[in-house]
Amino acid sequence: MARAVTTQHKTIATVAAWVVALLIFFPILYTIITSFKSEQEAIQGFALIPSGTTESYSEVQAQSGSFK
């Protein structure tokens, strides 16, 4: 017969799921934040809130030839 799932097991599973989710989420967030930095700012290191530029996106758009 199967054992009943206790509150403690549910809590442990929930905490483990959050830890895994955060480990997956933060590298994606870092990549998105870095994409708004200039090349020089990206090389210099971590800043939670970059000065913000869409220059890289404009450059990629211009080089790709899409939406012309």
In the three-class reduction of DSSP (H, G, I as helix; E, B as strand; rest coil), residue 51 is classed as coil
pLDDT, tens digit, 9 for 90 and up, residues 23-45: 999 999 988 888 888 788 878 87
Q: Give the pLDDT confidence score for residue 35 in this predicted structure.
A: 85
Cβ 35 vs Cβ 56: under 8 Å: yes
Closest CA to 48 of 62, 34, 67, 66: 34
Residue 11: which of 3, 22, 19 has the closest Cα?
19
Give the pLDDT band (50/70/90) at residue 49. Answer: low
